[in-house]
Amino acid sequence: MRRRVTPVHAFGLVLAASVAVLGTALFSQYVGGLQPCVLCIYQRVPYVLAIALCALALAVAVFGGGTKPSLTRSGLVICVALFIAGAGIAAYHVGVEQGWWMGTEACAGSDLNALTIEDLRQQLLQKPIARCDEVAWSAFGISMAGYNFIVSLLLAGGCVVLGRVVTGRSEPA
């Protein structure tokens, strides 16, 4: 007997995956000591938005007596768009890391506005500057931005599949 995939299942899976990815980034920052650059921070935004959207959708599905298929589809389409945007930011970051193009002005850590050498020294000691064009961590030759690109595309594809299964356009495997 096959179990039907419900909006609660779909949004719960997307929520769990988004929390896992964002949690990994935060863990690497606060426990692993990897300071994020501005593009790393930008790559977190789609996950935060997906978490908020999925939490709202779950609240509606659980406490509101369920969701209409059109609302479920719309929510998952928005998640697809968020993850594709995240993949775009990650791809841009990989290009900056590889030297294929220049990063933004914020990537160079140009927010230092010291008037004296002592001011500059204090600013540098207070806040580590992470450059977007330097790979802080990699495994198998792929940087965190590269892995985020892959994960973002997988999550976008997963949302497409979930949308088709939940709305009855495709049978679950």
Does some domain include residue 100?
A: yes
Q: How many residues are listed for the chain in this entry?
A: 173
160: domain CATH number is 1.20.1550
In a domain, 118, yes or no: no
Domain range for 144 is 7-105+132-166
- List, for residues 33-89, the tens digit of each pLDDT value: 888 988 999 999 999 999 999 999 998 888 877 667 778 889 999 999 999 999 999
Q: Both tokens of residue 86?
A: 């995240």
Where do the H-state alpha helices sit in the chain? 7-30, 38-63, 69-98, 117-126, 144-166
Cα 166 to Cα 133: distance, rounded to the nearest angstrom = 41
Residue 111 within any structural domain of the chain = no
Based on the structure, what is the number of domains in the chain? Answer: 1
Instruction: Convert the pLDDT of each residue in 117-172 to its tens digit.
Output: 777 666 656 665 688 878 887 789 889 999 999 999 999 999 999 988 887 766 54
